Structure 1
Amino acid sequence: MTAATGKKVLERRLPDERATARLGEDIAMALRTGDAIALVGDLGAGKTTLARGVIRAMADDVSLEVPSPTFTLVQSYETRVPLHHFDLYRLGSPSELDELGLDEMLASGAALIEWPERAGDRLPEDVVAVELTHDGEGRLARIAGSGQAYERIARSLAMRDFLTGAGRGEATRRYFTGDASARSYETVTMAGEETRVLMNSPRLVLGPPVRDGKPYAEIAHTAQSVTAFVAIGRALAGAGVSVPEIFADDLDRGFLLISHLGSEGFLDAEGRPVAERCAAAAQLLAAIHARQWPSRLEAAPGFFHDVPPFDRDAMLIEAELLVDWYVPYATARPAGEALRAGFRAAWNAAIDRLDRAEKSLVLRDFHSPNIIWRADRKGHDRLGVVDFQDALIGPSAYDVASLAMDARVSVPPEIEKTAVDAYVAARREHGGFDESSFAEAYAIMAAQRNSKILGIFVRLNERDGKPAYLKHLPRIRNYLERALAHPALAELRDFYRRNGLIGGTA
């Protein structure tokens, strides 16, 4: 960190143009809405090469024509994050940036800015400066900044170092997918080698205490590091479940290089659930739940993961997300203490009924976004499972509810029944299965999960600025009503109805 500016600085030596373009690719993998990258350097220093590397990686098109915006001042690209390439060399005065709409562009996209010194004080305070200078036959890149954009770029460069250590320093990186957490995934390709996946799983930021001096993530037993993924993945693979193979790992920093299980999603071409696939996934769950699982799993020599219990505190604090976030959203006023107390009492009574429920390894998010369908395989190998690091030891019915009431896609009652029936039939074959207890636990866990998700989706909108999740709320309310129809949940159902949480009044 420089004493004068308070900004952090890191350097990269770039021996040739390929290395400069690769730095652009690394920056592209880190870009998010609102990021501004200032490209600094003399004529011929490599700014255009670097900008071209960023833009082509964002567009996933290595041959994309990237004209210099010297005369137009700005050139825009419809990429994963809308990207705007500025060349301010001919800018008449800093005030012209207002006419170009830099602020509006950063509100919905990211910006690369050449000749940023001509902008005066009009650039954002957290702009990341990438200065290129000649260094012998190559160049030296000096990256300076503070804030989230700089930290993401620094982590992206650390990921390149990780790939170098794994013998793939010159691999092509492309954004693959992300989720509601801080995890993200990229594809990694090299000539003559199958595509692999680079998993970026930073250590969980626990947040402030919310109850009994503990943060939410600790109470809910959310995995805090990638060690959980490695340990649970090894255990599942040993049981015949198709999970990603790990080729290289950095458990401290949270980087994994893993196999690519396939590109065919679990849904059909129109994004609808397929009865056959849901049944196959339910049968896989039945095989998992019929086994005995230890609570301590080895990730690597000297690295262990203790699988937490899905206990009362975790179930309650998850369900209470409905009160914390969904109730204020639906009623335009915070939940009162009477509602909170009644909610806890009703849920404690429901959780009491889980005492006799079967407990097993619960993958926790076993639904369509996390399942790959591999039609060319047979048996359980048709299903690739890619997300399981938050697994707990708890009521096995939870995973069945996660599958049969998929939060991301509407599962009609007949396909829900197909999945549940397939699970029950498979468990009957293993023997020792209490169907009545399962049906009750299924209803309780479905009600708990969908209460939690109503709160999470509102939180993603209001706290994290992700309004797309709100479109799922009608589906989740419908699932919640289905679950609460079970006779064992009459008391909980009555509470939800009295308080307008179901029944079309919320």
Structure 2
Amino acid sequence: MRYSKTLHVLMTDIGETMSPLDHRLAPLQQWTITALHHALTPEVAVPANYALGTWESVSGDASFRRYFRTHFDGRSYIIMDAPPEKESVEPFVDIAQRLLKAGLRAPIIVAQQQEQGFLLLEDLGDEMLKSLLNKAGGQPLMDAVLPVLATMASSCETAGLPDYSSAKLQEELALFPDWYLQQHLGLSMTSDEAEQWQQLTQTLVDNALAQPQVFVHRDFHSCNLHQLPDGDIGVIDFQDAVCGPLTYDLASWLWDRYITWPRAQLEAWMLQAHQQLAPQVDEKCWIRWCDLMGLQRNLKIVGIFARLHYRDNKDGYLEMTPRFSDYISAVLPLYPELASNRVMLDKWLAMVKK
């Protein structure tokens, strides 16, 4: 392999992406050069004049991580920068190995420096399923995604993963009153509302814990799934995986942040998933599991969007709240046991659009 060419990280100039984390760029770049060189040509010394070109910033996520892309010798790679004082890359490395061992297409880790929070990853490309939702239609994507869900549930190891415990589920649901109600709307619950909220919380927690507990990606939506050139589905952003309810990832996929499916379509897909994931479970029970799991997740998301805006100064998330408030309102009338919560939640959620 010749070194007459420069290692290029293309598109966005570093100066356009300046942030408080930019003191990390120089060591990240130097590590990238060394890591790529040793991973690809360990028998050849790194040339003294070997340097990076321009730097392409790849869209980040709702965490403190950020991503860059580099091109070398006709191939591209993704570089993850995760400040260790904010979060460890160890869970990402662990979960990637679990997914790969199960035969799924997670990015291969080419090199790692966990103490600094640097990872060099296989590049799964830019064709997120989000971009195909309207173009390809929902059914072909559901047919492609369902085997991934089934493999994660049946074949991904759960030993050592955090449990999606009652305490964790309650903590997530509390994001709704803490951040959406109090911080965003400036409201506090009355004693009656607090009692109703506690009853709803218990119903949703019981629903989650009644299900088989399996590997859960925990953010399984159209931006975290990529269509690969060979037709496989690539899976990313999996570092928060837990051992939890069987329907959680399915609910994440069905109640998407970018497209709303009709109720009839949702039920058809729930039943399609039922045949692959849990055919032994009664169909009505299965649909209830899915609906209430989706309700738990969507209440949590509304709270998270408010927290991202007010605590983390991340723009763009509050604008997605109305879709999730509609998801919540659509499920409430389907279950008589939620009747006492419906008026309360509908009142609060109506304020999303004001």
Shift of the alpha carbon at 1:503?
Answer: 7.2
Alignment partner of 1:238 out of 101, 108, 131: 101
- Correspondence 1:444 to 2:292: yes
Contact 1:237-1:243 within 8 A present in 2 as well = yes
CA distance in 2, matches of 1:201, 1:249: 11
Query: Residue 18 of structure 2 corresponds to which residue in structure 1?
Result: 31
Contact 1:26-1:157 within 8 A present in 2 as well = no
Within 5 A, what are the aligned runs for 1:475-490? Answer: 475-487=323-335, 490=336
Question: Which aligned segments of 4 or more residues in structure 1 are displaced greater than 6 angstroms?
Answer: none
Q: Which has the higher helix share?
A: 2
SS, match of residue 262 in structure 1:
coil
Shift of the alpha carbon at 1:477?
Answer: 0.9
Query: Residue 409 of structure 1 corresponds to which residue in structure 2?
Result: 259
Alignment partner of 1:184 out of 51, 66, 69: 66
Structure 1 residues 414-459: Cα deviation after superposition (integer angstroms, max 9, x where no partner)? 543454233223236xx64554443222122111110011111122
- Correspondence 1:175 to 2:57: yes
Q: Which has the higher strand share?
A: 1
CA distance in 2, matches of 1:288, 1:337: 42
**Which has the higher relative contact order, 1 or 2, with Cα contacts under 8 A spaced 6 or more apart?**
2
Alignment partner of 1:225 out of 82, 85, 88: 88
Contact 2:333-2:339 within 8 A present in 1 as well = yes
Query: Residue 303 of structure 2 corresponds to which residue in structure 1?
Result: 455
SS, match of residue 59 in structure 2:
strand
TM-score by length of 2: 0.82
**Aligned CA distance change for structure 1 residues 255 and 318 (closer, same or farther; 3 Å):** same
**Aligned CA distance change for structure 1 residues 271 and 226 (closer, same or farther; 3 Å):** farther
Q: Letter of the aligned partner of 1:31 in structure 2?
A: M
Give the share of equivalent positions with the same residue, in percent.
26
Within 5 A, what are the aligned runs for 1:125-164? Answer: 149=20, 152-164=21-33
Contact 2:325-2:349 within 8 A present in 1 as well = no
CA distance in 1, matches of 2:130, 2:136: 5
Alignment partner of 1:285 out of 149, 165, 174: 149
Query: Residue 200 of structure 1 corresponds to which residue in structure 2?
Result: 81
Contact 1:175-1:187 within 8 A present in 2 as well = yes
Contact 1:365-1:402 within 8 A present in 2 as well = yes
Contact 1:246-1:257 within 8 A present in 2 as well = yes
Contact 2:130-2:258 within 8 A present in 1 as well = no
Query: Residue 47 of structure 2 corresponds to which residue in structure 1?
Result: none
**Aligned CA distance change for structure 1 residues 354 and 332 (closer, same or farther; 3 Å):** closer
SS, match of residue 352 in structure 1:
helix
Q: Letter of the aligned partner of 1:356 in structure 2?
A: A
- Correspondence 1:468 to 2:307: no
Contact 1:30-1:156 within 8 A present in 2 as well = no
Q: Letter of the aligned partner of 2:137 in structure 1?
A: V
CA distance in 2, matches of 1:289, 1:204: 32
CA distance in 2, matches of 1:272, 1:418: 20
Bigger radius of gyration, 1 or 2?
1
Q: Letter of the aligned partner of 2:76 in structure 1?
A: T
Shift of the alpha carbon at 1:287?
Answer: 2.5
Task: Report the aligned-residue RMSD.
Answer: 2.9
Shift of the alpha carbon at 1:291?
Answer: 3.1
Worse-superposed segment, 457-466 or 179-188? 457-466
SS, match of residue 444 in structure 1:
helix
**Aligned CA distance change for structure 1 residues 399 and 201 (closer, same or farther; 3 Å):** same
**Aligned CA distance change for structure 1 residues 272 and 333 (closer, same or farther; 3 Å):** farther
Contact 1:397-1:441 within 8 A present in 2 as well = yes
Shift of the alpha carbon at 1:157?
Answer: 1.4
Shift of the alpha carbon at 1:397?
Answer: 0.4
Shift of the alpha carbon at 1:226?
Answer: 1.0
TM-score by length of 1: 0.59
Contact 1:278-1:415 within 8 A present in 2 as well = no
CA distance in 1, matches of 2:339, 2:74: 55
CA distance in 2, matches of 1:495, 1:452: 16
Shift of the alpha carbon at 1:194?
Answer: 0.4
Shift of the alpha carbon at 1:200?
Answer: 1.3
**Aligned CA distance change for structure 1 residues 361 and 339 (closer, same or farther; 3 Å):** same
- Correspondence 1:294 to 2:158: yes
Alignment partner of 1:319 out of 158, 168, 173: 173
Shift of the alpha carbon at 1:195?
Answer: 0.6
Structure 1 residues 238-262: Cα deviation after superposition (integer angstroms, max 9, x where no partner)? 1111110110001122111011112
CA distance in 1, matches of 2:236, 2:51: 26
Shift of the alpha carbon at 1:367?
Answer: 0.1
CA distance in 2, matches of 1:501, 1:440: 24
Contact 1:371-1:385 within 8 A present in 2 as well = yes
- Correspondence 1:495 to 2:341: yes
Worse-superposed segment, 330-339 or 356-365? 330-339
Q: How many aligned positions are there?
A: 331
CA distance in 2, matches of 1:293, 1:481: 36
CA distance in 2, matches of 1:264, 1:325: 33
Structure 1 residues 122-172: Cα deviation after superposition (integer angstroms, max 9, x where no partner)? xxxxxxxxxxxxxxxxxxxxxxxxxxx3xx122111211221321456344
Contact 2:172-2:300 within 8 A present in 1 as well = yes
Alignment partner of 1:247 out of 83, 86, 110: 110
Q: Letter of the aligned partner of 2:148 in structure 1?
A: L
Within 5 A, what are the aligned runs for 1:282-431? Answer: 282-291=146-155, 293-296=157-160, 307-328=161-182, 331-336=185-190, 338-374=192-228, 376-378=229-231, 382-427=232-277
CA distance in 2, matches of 1:328, 1:272: 39
**Aligned CA distance change for structure 1 residues 461 and 356 (closer, same or farther; 3 Å):** closer
SS, match of residue 301 in structure 2:
helix
Which runs of 5 or more residues in structure 1 are unaligned? 1-17, 33-148, 206-223, 297-306
Q: Letter of the aligned partner of 1:386 in structure 2?
A: I
**Aligned CA distance change for structure 1 residues 415 and 157 (closer, same or farther; 3 Å):** farther
